[in-house]
């Protein structure tokens, strides 16, 4: 089971958890534990991570900046309109 570490309402002073709780959670974070397992067994490396992130950024950029009405790609279906509006303000990751 996962929990919310950040604030839901983007209010600077809202804290659902103490610093101690957050540090304990980070130590048990299943995503980070899985990433560490992949790295430790040489099943994944930082360059692959970097390449994947860049590839996904490019795909999101393409979806947001182009007419994707006919696009059935995964990213187009996952990116809500409000996120697309924010991404339009970002420079091209190319």
82 token code pair: 């409000």
> What stretch of H or E contains 54?
helix 46-65
**pLDDT at residue 76 is higher than 50:** yes
Whole-structure pTM value: 0.51
**pLDDT at residue 83 is higher than 60:** yes
Q: Which residues of 50-86 are buried (b: 16+ CB within 10 A; e: fewer)?
A: eeeeeeeeebbbbbbeeebeeeeeeebeebeeeeeee
Query: pLDDT band for position 47 (50/70/90)?
Result: very high
């Amino acid at each position: 089971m996962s929990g919310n570490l950040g604030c839901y309402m983007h209010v600077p002073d809202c804290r659902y958890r103490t610093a101690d709780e957050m540090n304990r959670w980070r130590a048990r974070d299943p995503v980070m534990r899985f990433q560490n397992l992949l790295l430790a067994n040489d099943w994944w490396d930082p360059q692959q991570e970097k390449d994947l992130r860049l590839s996904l950024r490019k795909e999101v950029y393409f979806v947001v900046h182009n007419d994707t009405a006919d696009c059935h790609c995964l990213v187009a279906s996952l990116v809500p309109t409000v996120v697309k509006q924010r991404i339009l303000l970002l420079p091209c990751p190319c």
